[in-house]
Amino acid sequence: MTSIEIGLIGLACLIFAICCHIPVGISMAVVGAGGYLVLTGNLSGMFSLMGTEMISTLSNHEFSVIMTFILMGGMAGVARLSSDIYRLANAWIGHWKGGLSIATILGCGGFGAISGSSIATTATMVKIAMPEMEKRNYALELSTGTLAAGGTLGSIVPPSIIMVLYAVQVEEFIVDLFLAAILPAILSIFLFVIAVRVYLLIFPDNAKRAERSSWRERAVTTKNNWASVSIIVIVMGGIYSGFMTVNEGASVGLILTVFAALVRRTLTRESLSSTMRSAVGSIALLYIIMTGANIFTYFMTLSHMPSALVDWVISLGLSPIMVIWTLVFMYMALGAVFDSIAGMLLTLPFVFPLVTGLGYDPVWWGIVNVMVIEIGMITPPVGINVFVLKGLRKDIPLGTIFRGIIPFLIANLVALTLVISFPEISLWLPRLLK
């Protein structure tokens, strides 16, 4: 049996294990270690591989930034910064037709710049924005679609936890990924706003205008938003200017969110304990997934499957852009049934060598990868953001939510097409600031 055949059997075993609901990280670690043992026959080497990869993941300096961003996002919720950002957007544009939906999208983008997580963004904004839209008789399709889709901005708006994971796995600079994401993030937000406006041209009765805020109310709201704006400016400005490393920026952001919670007296023993428990659980899960992914990647490399895949695709004679679109459709299908992070880490050993072998920029592919994952988060039948919303509002039918995300799904596809067709949208800033 050749090494490639062993690799194929290992991949089949991994898919079977995941279908049996064995945790993805454990599945990848067990299959990767078992495949290494079959290929080498070295039992002590297998245990050494598992120990080495675990220590390597735990001691990875760049990966530690994820812990800080997760804690920062949790403390931002305790400090109620998300509600500040939403109120600021609502005060200035809430009186527009569909203004609450647009304010929700902007609020999701702003909170995504603090939390770095789509799930956290969705869960937080549902509690804040949904009651306001219901109060003003917004159609459930529009309000739920806005929240589920707007929550995905937590993935594309830097700092993004998924971007950090990608950068660590492919050994690219995290700051380059963050810079590359700025224009695609702005593009996504702009197209979401257009989606709301077009939707209301077709269904004008599905949203009512809110009352216009007075200039005094706007001034007070803007003044009260000092904490969230300051944190975003200090952290991202410090990172992009080179004054702070990503780890230092995340640490400063965590300190500032804790300070904001203390000033507002929202940091209690209970809220601190709850935030820490949630963060520790998320961090532990990510470490298990990363360790398993590294072991599985080592096995795949040893089996020569990635290089064989590259050679096979090149032999088909497809144009590079056709290969990219084939991968995009594969990720859309994968995102409909797999967790987004697991899907990315599972496929990187095969996809990354293929994309770079075709001459594409790894930073550009990272942004495309994240945007496809963003689409997968609201794509049936899974769509993790949809189920987060459904879990918080069990009275709303899933069909209503999925119908509501259609305009935003189209907007996401347009944004993705533009970034694929014009790579400079994502690569211009990193090249400009190098």
Q: What is the pLDDT of residues 159-183, one digit of tens each?
A: 888 888 888 888 888 889 999 999 9
pLDDT-derived band at 419, boundaries 50, 70, 90:
very high
Residue 405, classed as helix, strand or coil, is coil
Give me the pLDDT at residue 422, please: 93
Q: Where along the chain do its domains lie?
A: 3-432
Question: Is the Cβ–Cβ distance between 1 and 303 less than 8 Å?
Answer: no
Structure tokens that stand for 181 in this block: 């994401």
Burial of 382 (0-12, 13-18, 19+ CB in 10 A): middle
- Smallest Cα–Cα separation from 178: which of 238, 240, 120, 228? 240
**Distance, CA of 332 to CA of 380 (rounded, Å):** 10
* pLDDT tens by residue, 360-381: 999 999 999 888 888 877 877 6
Q: Is 203's pLDDT higher than 70?
A: yes
Percent of the chain with pLDDT over 70: 95
Mean pLDDT of 178-202: 92
- What is the pLDDT, as a whole number, of residue 304? 80
Q: Tell me how far apart the terminal alpha carbons of the chain are, to the nearest angstrom.
A: 48
Alpha carbon 264 to chain centroid, angstroms: 29
Given a cut of 90, is residue 415 above it in pLDDT? yes
Which of 39, 63, 64, 36 lies closest to 51, judged by CA? 36
Those residues whose C-beta lies under 8 Å from the C-beta of residue 327, and which sit 6 or more positions away, are 351, 354, 355
DSSP 337: T
**Burial readout 236-253 (b: 16 or more C-beta within 10 A, e: otherwise):** bebbbeeebbbeebbbbb
Tokens of 259: 């300070």
Query: What predicted TM-score, i.e. pTM, was given to this entire model?
Result: 0.81
